[in-house]
């Protein structure tokens, strides 16, 4: 997978449905790593991080399965 696939749809154009969730996940991961390096991770931070980053992916895949789409298609069905 090329990095551009994280932010573009199948037509090669920028996909906001892919861009912003990946930006949010990258920022959350950065803060999670930063707090881990600074020894400031708490149970609350773990729960929020895992539910926001992992939960988003699980929900998108579950919705795709429920609607009968493959995992490679985006939330709009064509990304």
Instruction: State the Cα–Cα distance between residues 54 and 74, nearest whole angstrom.
Output: 16
Per DSSP, the three-state class of 77 is: coil
Instruction: State the Cα–Cα distance between residues 38 and 43, nearest whole angstrom.
Output: 15
pLDDT, tens only, 10-64: 898 999 888 998 898 899 999 999 999 999 999 999 999 999 888 888 888 888 8
**Which residue would you say has higher pLDDT here, 46 or 1?**
46
Q: Residue 17 phi/psi, 5° resolution?
A: -70, -20
Write out the E strands in the chain. Answer: none
pLDDT, tens only, 25-34: 899 999 999 9
Instruction: State the Cα–Cα distance between residues 77 and 29, nearest whole angstrom.
Output: 27
pLDDT at 43: 94
**Which residue would you say has higher pLDDT here, 38 or 66?**
38
Domain ranges of the chain: 3-67
Q: How many CB atoms lie within 10 A of CB 15?
A: 21
């Amino acid at each position: 997978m090329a990095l551009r696939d994280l932010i573009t749809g199948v037509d090669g154009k920028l996909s906001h449905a892919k861009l912003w969730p990946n930006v949010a996940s990258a920022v959350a991961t950065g803060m999670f790593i930063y707090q881990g390096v600074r020894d400031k991770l708490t149970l609350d931070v773990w729960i929020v991080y895992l539910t926001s980053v992992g939960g988003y992916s699980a929900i998108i895949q579950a919705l795709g399965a429920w609607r009968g789409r493959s995992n490679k298609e985006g939330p709009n069905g064509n990304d």
